[in-house]
Structure 1
Amino acid sequence: MSDTCVLAIDLGTSGPKAAVIDAAGRTLSWRSRPVATTFVAHGGAEQDPREMWSAIVEATRAALSDLSPVPPIAMVSVTSQFMSTIPVASDGTPTGPCVLWMDTRGAEHNLSLLTDDSFMLFVERHGLIPLPSGNDNIAHAHVLAEHHPDAYRAATALVEPMDYVNARLTGRLCATQSTVFGQLVCDNRTWGATEYDADLVAATRLDPDKLAPLVPINGVIGEVTSAAAAELGIAAGTPVCTGTIDSITSAVGSGALDASAGSVIVGTTSVMVTHIGEHRADLGVGILAVPSPLSNRYFVMAENGVGGRALEWASRLFGYGDDVAGAVADAATVPSGAEGVSFLPWLLGSIAPSPNDDVRAAWTGLSLPHDRRHLVRATLEGVALNLAWLRPAVEEFAGSSWPSLRFGGGAALSDLWAQTLADALDRPVHQLAEPRTTNARGAAFLALAELGELAIDDVPGLLQVHAVREPDPAVRAQMDAALERLVRLHADFALA
């Protein structure tokens, strides 16, 4: 095995991770830094792109400082949250705030775009429609124009975070068919498109002059500039590959490379991931296929909604502060089923397998003997049951049935959450080692494949598993009943 190392930057909603990963897929070092979110009136959520970049610089320098000697970095690969929009100048300098994926201020604008003809155009060519919730880049462009007009006018392009970071790294402003997915401007029936679809652009009412130039969906886009190199502490001229949506790198980093394998990733949100070989969409269940950097493959996007963020929120709500591990340890003292307490996890509405912006979260079944331990345990189980509801829909979409699933993301550090998932999914769950770098590892694998250090289909054999959690027969009937109750309550909420 070669001693080649790559730098993977994973820019999530809570902030970036920077990881140094070798050709065997081992994480040699990683560090993270937080980025603050500002919530504003009428459903707004924003971050400062300059703070994003500063956090990336700090995390990268910290990760490199942990290594002695510091290995040469052969390539930089960036993955990030998506359906977030940053206005940038031609060199990547931000002209205004990042409007986050959770921002809903443009909902009415998106609804105005939907006619019978445009609906069919979006579905047939792209796969997605402008989201009525306003959680996409089309709505965010409108938000920037309305709420930050100077930033909008000054922008050369409106880009996703991974393309912003790549522009800061290389000085080159560009995007790919995959990274512009949330703008709904490419004909995704053809994998690897490098031109915008004029009909789709017109239907979105996006300004075509504010679309970044498209480049091939995988490959090298440029080299780290001397200025960026000096900030990060790596060599100028280091190649940088195309950016990637973080859900896609979670699939790559967990070995879900074709329909024969599926993974569950629980970070801020919960997703169930795999890949298929064709463009497809089922908006009724909220599942669709996104062009992937894996040649001629499409990533299956099955966003399940708020995941780990629900546990963080509950932990703060019940007095644990940032001690999520302490909250989970207390929850482990409560039996499966939380002694009758259930949690409906739709803190931002439900997505797949039953999209509904109006349903909301709740605890049910509370009585006087219950305490915060029960509510935290119920929160874990509610997120797991929501994924159990999703599994059959994803398997049907992918045309496969998975005998087991891999589990990555920060939640996979928790043995309790892994066992709860196994019980809810009724499948063995392979708890990945070093799960917090699942996305970064996926980004690194893409870079290593670009360098010729590995074949992408060799990735599953490189993954290390911390433990395999088998479903507990003693709680299976209880879990099935809880799932039935969750689905019924969702229907009741939808009709209310």
Structure 2
Amino acid sequence: MKEFVIACDIGTSEMKTALISTTGLVDEVRRTYPVEYPQPGWSEQDPNLLSEAIYSSVKELVEKNLDKVPNIRGITFTSQMMGLLPLDKQGKPLCKMQTWLDTRSADLVKSLFSKGLIKIEGYQAKIILKFLSITGGAPGFSGKDNISKILWLKKYEPEIYKNTHKFVDTKDYAIFLATGKYVTSLDFAFINWMMHKKSHNWSSDILDMFDIDISKLCDIELSTANLGTVTEEFAQKTGLPSSIAVINGSGDLLTAAIGSGAIGKGRLHANVGTAGWVGCHYPKEKKDLAHYVGAIASGMPDTYFIVSKQETLGGGLEWFKNIMGISTYKEIDEMVGKTTAGAKNILFTPWLFGERSPLNDPYLRGQFFNLSMDHKREDLFRAVYEGVAFNLKWGLDIVEKLSRSKENEIRLIGGASNSSEWCQIFSDVFQKKVHQMKNPQSASAMGAACIAFVGLGIFPNFDEVYKLVEIKQTFIPDSSKKPLYDKLFTQYKTLYKSTKKIFEKLNKEK
């Protein structure tokens, strides 16, 4: 008898709700919702649209698969991370959710964390050393971390802070809707920089330092934790039986790595969607503070994930596609296929919303560098492909150094992996085999399903994920392109040093 779980992947602008068996993807439905940018640096979402997307997508999936409902064992969630939503005592949102793209607290964070004469990587020495010793990391200067968002609300929206019963992230909100419980997972708590890295409890030392009320934070549980069954209300709105178990789940960054099959020590994985990352699992905590690369708690117990999280990768292509009036990505691929490696020496930086890693700088912005009269739009599109690859390689080099990974291959997921041209460029820039995964945009849901199967006791361990994932095609690096790409990559990194102060003067609020 086949057993199934439902995995809801709540992305930045799209939700994928999947029915997954112990052998792979069965069915999937999608919902879209907008991201709002009401002011420069602000990024918000309407939580009512998120809840409606959860209810309606699960209901549609159930109605399409009524014959399988008796064998659905559980539901789980994965989502974008570093979102902040304050809820009142009735569980009602007090305002819109700040998304992971929101940088409104950047200047506040800079003033709080960098004051003082003695500094380490721009941070006041006393503060950064305390963060590192307790949490294993520290908030970035981008202001995108949830501790920073809470401090912004506390300072500029004191009534909202006062009336907040619980602060929840995106997945936490879904868990609340399904169970009525306020629970987060270890990985979310870890990157909030308020949790003690050893005890896995909220740190009173960190919270007292910034006068944050611990009662406003969710309980912390493992990603594999069984949180009980769905509420009657959730069952009525979705058509699920009220006996369905809810498994805590994990952030999309962690579930995607599991869902790509990169679960062994040092096995490399990259995701290029709107944003993206590159990383690998590792048994110990590691960090490179200068480049904001480090290990966070994995969705797999007793494991870390060393990651370079980057803010705008595929989003840069989406932006340029729209302003150039191109209707399909196939057209772009065809254009890029007619160009030569190096894009005629154009360098594109995908820092359209600042950057987190390998450059911890909220003031950075995108650019096309070295344009001339002989360049055509296809050269610009190739420069976007290559610029994203250079940015990812920068993070990859640091991840490999920290993990001592000697892997000559990397598993690629996300929208960019649908492009064969882009996959080959990644392979040539990295000088590694690139595995294009089957169903690449469902990897997070697959990883979440694996967590659920382990949490329910259906899978004995995470090695069973290989039953769920499949490599579609492997791209082999062209060694003849290595000298050219190495030269351009060196200039790409130099470009940041040359323009950093200009970006800060142009984009820092006065």
Does TM, normalized by the shorter one, top 0.5? yes
Q: How does 1:449-460 map to 2 (within 5 A)?
A: 449-454=454-459, 455-460=461-466
1:223 aligns with 2:229: yes
Amino acid corresponding to residue 377 of structure 2 in structure 1: R
Alignment of 1:166 with 2:175, yes or no, is: yes
Once the 2 structures are TM-superposed, how far is the Cα of residue 229 of structure 1 from its aligned partner?
1.6
Q: Distance in 1 between matches of 2:308 and 2:90?
A: 34
How far is 1:261 from its partner?
A: 0.6
Give the secondary-structure state (helix, strand or coil) at the position aligned to 2:341.
coil
1:296 counterpart = 2:306: no
Output the CA distance in 2 between the equivalents of 1:334 and 1:57: 46
2:14 alignment partner AA: G
User: TM-score, structure 1 length as denominator?
Assistant: 0.93
**Equivalent residue number for residue 37 of structure 1:** 35
For residues 145-174 of structure 1, what are the alpha-carbon distances to aligned partners after superposition, in whole Å with 9 as ceiling and x for unaligned? Answer: 455555433321111110110000111112
Q: Which of 211, 214, 223 is 2:220 aligned to?
A: 214
2:332 maps to which of 323, 327, 332 = 327
**Counterpart AA for 1:277:** P
Structure 1 partner of 2:354: 349
1:196 aligns to 2:202 (yes or no): yes
Instruction: Tell whether 2:421 aligns with 1:416.
Output: yes
| Equivalent residue, structure 2, for 1:118 | 127
Is this contact kept in 1: 2:140–2:356, CA < 8 A?
A: no
| Residue identity matched to 1:55 | A
- d(CA) in 2 for partners of 1:392, 1:257: 19
- CA offset digits 1:208-259 (Å, max 9, x no partner): 2211223345311121112112222222121111131111111111122232
1:93 aligns with 2:98: no
Letter in 2 for 1:340: N
Q: Does the 8 Å CA contact 1:92/1:164 hold for their aligned counterparts?
A: no
1:3 equivalent in structure 2? 2
The separation in 2 between residues aligned to 1:74 and 1:204, in whole angstroms, is: 42
Aligned mates of 2:155, 2:39 — CA distance in 1: 14
Contact 1:418 1:431 in 2 (8 A): yes
The amino acid of 2:426's aligned partner reads L
Q: 1:90 to 1:289 in 2, by over 3 A?
A: farther
What is the aligned counterpart of 1:470 among 453, 473, 476?
476
- CA 470–65 in structure 1, closer or farther in 2 if over 3 Å, else same: farther
CA distance in 2 between partners of 1:384 and 1:308 (Å) = 10
> Could you tell me whether the CA contact under 8 Å between 1:138 and 1:182 is conserved in 2?
no
Q: Is the 8 A contact 1:113 1:130 kept in 2?
A: no
For the pair 1:317 / 2:323, whether they are aligned, the reply is: yes
Instruction: Specify the code of the residue in structure 2 equivalent to 1:8.
Output: A
CA distance in 2, matches of 1:140, 1:130: 10
Please say if 1:52 is aligned against 2:50: yes
Shift in Å, 1:42: 4.3
| Conserved? CA contact 2:279–2:396, under 8 Å | no
What is the deviation of 1:306?
1.1
Which residue, 247, 254, 259 being the options, matches 1:241? 247
Deviation sequence 1:279-302 (CA, Å, 0-9, x none): 232211211111223121112221
Match of 1:380 in 2: 385
Aligned to 1:142: 151
Residue of structure 2 equivalent to 1:284: 290
Q: Deviations over 1:189-218 (max 9, x none)?
A: 35xx2x211101122432222112233453
Deviation, 1:439, is 0.7
Q: How far apart, in 2, do the equivalents of 1:345 and 1:422 lie?
A: 19
- For the residue of structure 2 that corresponds to 1:453, the secondary structure is coil
Q: Distance in 1 between matches of 2:501 and 2:160?
A: 41
Paired letter, 1:383: V
Q: Decide whether the 8 Å contact of 1:88 with 1:164 is kept in 2.
A: no
Could you tell me the percent identity over the aligned residues?
A: 27
Q: Distance in 2 between matches of 1:223 and 1:210?
A: 24
- TM-score, structure 2 length as denominator? 0.91
Deviations 1:462-482 (A, max 9, x none): 421110000123422222222
Distance change in 2, residues 1:479/1:459 (3 Å): same
Matched to 2:322, the amino acid is R
Shift of 1:68: 6.2
Query: Quick one: distance in 1 between partners of 2:286 and 2:133?
Result: 9
| Partners of 1:205 and 1:331 in 2: CA distance | 53
Given that residues 91 and 172 in structure 1 are in contact (C-alpha distance below 8 angstroms), is that contact kept between their aligned partners in structure 2? Answer: no
1:161 alignment partner AA: T
Return the alpha-carbon distance in structure 2 between the equivalents of residues 320 and 393 of structure 1. Answer: 35
Larger CA deviation: 3-12 vs 127-136: 127-136
2:188 is paired with a residue of what secondary structure? coil
Q: 2:495 aligns with which of 472, 489, 494?
A: 489
The one-letter code matched in structure 2 to 1:231 is K
CA distance in 2 between partners of 1:415 and 1:401 (Å): 25
Offset at residue 348 of structure 1 (A): 2.1
Distance (Å, rounded) in 1 between the aligned partners of 2:223 and 2:76: 13
Q: Secondary structure at the match of 1:175?
A: strand
- Name the SS for the 1:264 alignment partner: strand
The answer on whether the counterparts of 1:77 and 1:240 sit within 8 Å (CA) in structure 2 is yes
Note if contact 2:249-2:451 (Cα within 8 Å) is conserved in structure 1: no
Q: How many residues align?
A: 490
Once the two structures are TM-superposed, the CA of residue 312 in structure 1 deviates from its matched residue by 0.6
C-alpha deviation, 1:176, in angstroms? 3.1
Residue 264 of structure 1: aligned partner: 270
Residue by residue over 1:97-122, the C-alpha shift from the partner in whole angstroms, topping out at 9 and shown as x without a partner, is 10111111112332343243221110
Whether 2:445 is the aligned partner of 1:433: answer no
1:443-488 Cα deviation digits (max 9, x unpaired): 0110011122222023246421110000123422222222122111
Q: CA RMSD in A?
A: 2.0
Deviates more, 1:281-290 or 1:44-53: 281-290
- After the TM superposition, which of the residue ranges 139-148 and 287-296 deviates more from structure 2? 139-148
Which residue identity lines up with residue 373 of structure 1 in the other structure? E
Q: Is the 8 A contact 2:341 2:481 kept in 1?
A: yes
* In 2: Cα distance, 1:99 partner to 1:227 partner: 26
What amino acid does structure 1 have at the position aligned with 2:390? L
1:392-411 pair list within 5 angstroms: 392-411=397-416
Q: Deviation per CA, 1:63-102, whole angstroms, max 9, x where unpaired?
A: 3444463443211111111111011234543222101111
Q: Does 1:308 align with 2:314?
A: yes
Greater shift in the superposed pair: 160-169 or 113-122: 113-122
Give yes or no for contact 1:173–1:212 (8 Å, CA) kept in 2: yes
